[in-house]
Structure 1
Amino acid sequence: MTTPDSALDPALDSAIDPVALRRLESPIGRIEVVGDGTAIISLAIEHEGALPHDELDERPDEVTSRAVAQLEEYFAGHRHDFDLPVALPGTVFQQAVWEQLVELEWGEVISYGELGHATGRASAGRAVGGAVGANPIPIIVPCHRVLASDGRITGYSAGEGIATKSWLLAHEGVAHKLPRPAA
């Protein structure tokens, strides 16, 4: 992973005209991949029928085209890891969390506590959850592989949320539990 000084803030991504943009249809909805000309800088999964840059025409480049091809292979069950340049702007702590996520293999999960421990902040559960949720490149940086210590999904900020995360985990053969019903 690389984080160039000029990397975009993902919170502003929809307000910025992307250099490269590709979309694909997937079992979890349409996906939009944005690049800065050298790396993938964001991936959005359709939420309530919309993507951040729906109003723009596609602007393919070599990196976004490779990303789309690798995502199609992933959804077909033929690809278990990604070989793409990514730029992940964030705090030092967020980057440490995201680096741990990239190391997870297909079908491998980690708990929020284990992830905190691996980044040297074993008692920072809320901060770990915030860093996981702020990941600008889900699937490629596999934040869906983080579960509560009892194997339960506690949330997911991409696509349609918990349903999207549950589908991704099931696709990778990961046993998991859905959140407890509200009391």
Structure 2
Amino acid sequence: MVLLAAGEGSRMGSIPKALLLKDGKTLLQGFCEMVQELRPVEFVVLTGFHAQAIEAELAKIGKALNIAVTVQHNFNAQNGQGSSVRLALESLQSQFDVLAVCLSDQPNIGHEEIEYLLGQFSKRQTNQEIIMPEVNGQRGNPVLFSKKAVENILSIPGMVCRAYMDQHPELITVCEIDNPAYVLDADTEADIQKLGITRA
């Protein structure tokens, strides 16, 4: 499992969105608690902007939860999310069947949402390597990639997940879901108010 937490949060005045609060917990803590339930073979968190604050929170969470976290710092985070995704894929060490690429600012993604996508992955047709949620025609997250898809992406220099998906729509199972959690993220102050989250 990969969690992308390298962004600047520029539309909110440059804040670490992973440290926004919901129900008294940072979004990062809530995600890590879910990860502990799912027990993935590997959990990688990408940091970039605000790395010091996010890594300090991860250290605190790690003392309270029984999960192993690999932190990868993207020194080129200014190059955008794609650079973080590529670094994450290159850092994977385990033998996994499926990789979930998750965003750190989706407060309503929980255990059930991930389990649903994993169920769709297990039922996919043999030629399908990517599971993507879609809500009312809007692409959502997290997105699941098979080991084969990850290996194919890594075999192409500079390739990232989004570009690979755009080039290979035939490999994607699109899951039309009536669950807004997959498309709700915290990008603006209005989003914060709508999602019931607050600044730390």
**TM-score, normalised via structure 1 length:** 0.31
Higher relative contact order (CA 8 A, sep 6+): 2
**TM-score, normalised via structure 2 length:** 0.30
Higher strand share: 2
Higher helix share: 2
